[in-house]
Amino acid sequence: MDSAIEFGDVRMDYVDDDGETLCALTDVGFQAAEGEFISFVGPSGCGKTTLLKITAGLLTPTGGEVRIQGHPVWGPTQDVGFVFQSAVLLRWRTILRNVMLQVEVRGLDKKDYTRRALALLDLVGLKGFENKYPYQLSGGMQQRAAICRALIHDPPHLLMDEPFGALDALTREQMHLELQDIWMQSGKTVLFVTHSIPESVFLSDRVVVFSPRPGRIREVVTVDLPRPREIGIETDVRFGRLVSHIRGLLETTRSSGRPQLGETVLFGGRQSARGKKA
């Protein structure tokens, strides 16, 4: 399998103004395959956001390196789209102009990309809201616009940091289906941070479970459930087993010392609907 994003023994130490060092994460070694949907779950403060920022080149790790399609990440990279926890749309720009932000920053052809922006907004159900301002949209609609903004320059990889954390349960379910559609149509590699175990299982090919700080990979759990996944799959016994397994790992990491590295395939041997082994 071709690896799209490789983490090679990544470590991050933050040094505060008093010279005190805090190790946020260490020994992170992992490869995400081309077109794979990967979730990161772990206790608060274990370094998930730090890892996404390192991947995007917004932070430099103090040890190891991240490679995107074989190239080490040095500084901010154009190869990723970043969706932050809150939509952070610019309130003085219309929805369309928010989506077009990266096009303007990067000096890309406005005419071509306006067509693409309109098509993306249509895809996520925001047709007719192009000329509205963020305050005129609900939280879920703003988050969908933020996803379009991250996708506009067609980056091969999408990094999402708890993008649905602030949404109500029903909107969140809707967003899961929409994200699954976008991902299945685009073939992008996605790294997705969440605190919701069911959300991670619903969306992912694999779930990377982290220990408490300093974050280490506790286990990589393969979710070999067929796609496209539908709302209601939560009642499937295999879904429930995966959720319990991940919950157990998080509880173990809370109560035990140094975690073990490992790889679990709970439902091995089945081909996912996208025609590749998950």
Ligand X SMILES: Nc1ncnc2c1ncn2[C@@H]1O[C@H](COP(=O)(O)OP(=O)(O)OP(=O)(O)O)[C@@H](O)[C@H]1O
Binding positions for ligand X, rule: CB under 6 A: 14, 22, 24, 44-50, 213
Task: Count the Cβ atoms, other than its own, within 10 Å of residue 107.
Answer: 7
Cβ-based nearer residue to ligand X, 45 or 198 = 45
Cβ-based nearer residue to ligand X, 35 or 259 = 259
Furthest-apart CA atoms within the chain: distance in Å:
56
Cβ-based nearer residue to ligand X, 50 or 142 = 50
> Exposed, middle or buried by CB within 10 Å (0-12, 13-18, 19+), for 69?
middle
Among 259, 123, 137, which Cα is nearest to 178's? 123
Nearest-approach distance from CB 49 to ligand X, in angstroms: 3
For position 194 contacting Mg ion by CB under 5 A, the verdict is no
Nearest-approach distance from CB 85 to Mg ion, in angstroms: 7
For position 39 contacting Mg ion by CB under 5 A, the verdict is no
Cβ-based nearer residue to Mg ion, 130 or 161 = 161
Cβ-based nearer residue to Mg ion, 49 or 189 = 49
The answer to whether residues 227 and 278 touch, using CB atoms and an 8 Å cutoff, is no
Task: Count the Cβ atoms, other than its own, within 10 Å of residue 186.
Answer: 16
Nearest-approach distance from CB 48 to Mg ion, in angstroms: 5
For position 50 contacting Mg ion by CB under 5 A, the verdict is no
CB proximity list for 185: less than 8 A, separation 6 or greater: none
Cβ-based nearer residue to Mg ion, 143 or 222 = 143
Q: Identify what 46 binds: ligand X, Mg ion, none; CB under 5 to 8 Å per kind.
A: ligand X
Q: Identify what 211 binds: Mg ion, ligand X, none; CB under 5 to 8 Å per kind.
A: none
Q: Which amino acid is at 69?
A: Q
Nearest-approach distance from CB 214 to ligand X, in angstroms: 8
Nearest-approach distance from CB 91 to Mg ion, in angstroms: 23
For position 49 contacting Mg ion by CB under 5 A, the verdict is yes
CB proximity list for 197: less than 8 A, separation 6 or greater: 41, 243, 246, 247, 250
For position 26 contacting Mg ion by CB under 5 A, the verdict is no
Nearest-approach distance from CB 243 to Mg ion, in angstroms: 21
Task: Count the Cβ atoms, other than its own, within 10 Å of residue 249.
Answer: 23
CB proximity list for 261: less than 8 A, separation 6 or greater: 27, 216, 217, 218, 219
Binding site for Mg ion (CB under 5 A): 49
